[in-house]
A and B are shown apart, each in its own frame.
Chain A
Amino acid sequence: MIPWRQYLRSGDLLVLGLVATLVGASFPLLWQGGLADRAIIRQGGEVFATLDLHRRQALDVPGPLGNTSIQIEPGRARVAADPGPRQYCVRQGWLSQPGAIAICAPNRVSLEIQGRTKAYDSLSY
């Protein structure tokens, strides 16, 4: 039986502890890129509204084709209805990751989720 334990000196345990703490701390910090906490709604490239993702609410954004309906729930948001022909932004469903964005190009409306820290320019699925 190899006595692995006796090879570890007191300083080694210190280094091991420090390094393990560093790696352990990096998991939550780097893994999720912050929590989603607000939705940015743009119309024709201009910010139309900035909403907190803390309470339930709905918003209609007027565009050249009609109204795009945005629905907000705690921690997530979606485009509930859009007059565009292909419905890509509606089919994306609920967005909850910071950086995720749904773009309704025909009606010139976009819905973007942001966290405290901006991790990505955009995310698409």
Chain B
Amino acid sequence: MTDHPSSAISCPQCGSPFDFHEGSRNAQCSSCGTSLAITGESGIGRFYIEPRVDLNQARSTIRKTLAEKEGDKRHISTLRFEKGELCFLPFWSLCAHATGWFWTERETVVREEDVDANGMRIVREVRGPNQRNFEAVAFEMRYSSPACDLAHFGLTGIATASSVLPLKVMNFDGLSQRGTLIDPVKGIDQVRGEALAQARNRASGNRTLRQEGKLNLIGSRMALISYPVWDLTFAAKDRMHHVTVDGVNGRPLKGRFPATYGIRLAAPMITVAALVFAFSLGQIAGVAAAAAFSAYLWNSGELSLPRIAKHLFQLVSRGKEVSLG
């Protein structure tokens, strides 16, 4: 699974700490050389990834993101953070060999050549006989899936992170003091089912009319990995905004940022002044100016009384909120 050793636990023979990899069944004590079998609850090891971003860095990430996005830049310096909580989100990690078979029925296309009345050769493609195919498959698969509903946090998988970042053996007491430890809800069978479904999807191809198959996961090794995410709340104007930040790389994951506000005086004043000036020149000029104004509104979307009122009397413009995730 991962090439980085997880954090040490003690050898039962000599008491020395030793390192091992997530997904390993066995390890060797570097001090006394004893071969050791690694077991977890129901054969599942629990690990966590150490956060690399602290609360202040997470907050500055939000400010930076707001500055880069089309948010309200005037409020960046006055953002008032209400709370920040470090959450450890549970993810299943599965490594196995998927083996089984697929039977597929595909439609085929054949090229038919013909000669028309003018002696010209015509090539056309017509549907040929259906083609049946059997394939015995065996491939290695790695699968990562949230162990509960994490839609609120905007993080869907950590397959890459768990394979490159060093993992540490779960420390429930220590992590509970640092943040909120979210419990897994999804069971082993559900994760295996999801992994099998993903493996089945690999076989689908173009022009497939029907597909049947049977897959098994063999030699599977599973682990539960807790991943750190900052859950932040900040107030901007009179509204509370919620955002989550990746606790390892500081990337904003999900959130909504305040919209931009602006005072628009020029457009209504120019319109009114132009109309008044045109009518002062003469009735024909006034009607022409009004027609030009109507044509402008028509071209820009809609010509209606509310639209005219909005153009003339809406003095505050509000941009769109910026959403992530």
Chains A and B bind each other:
no
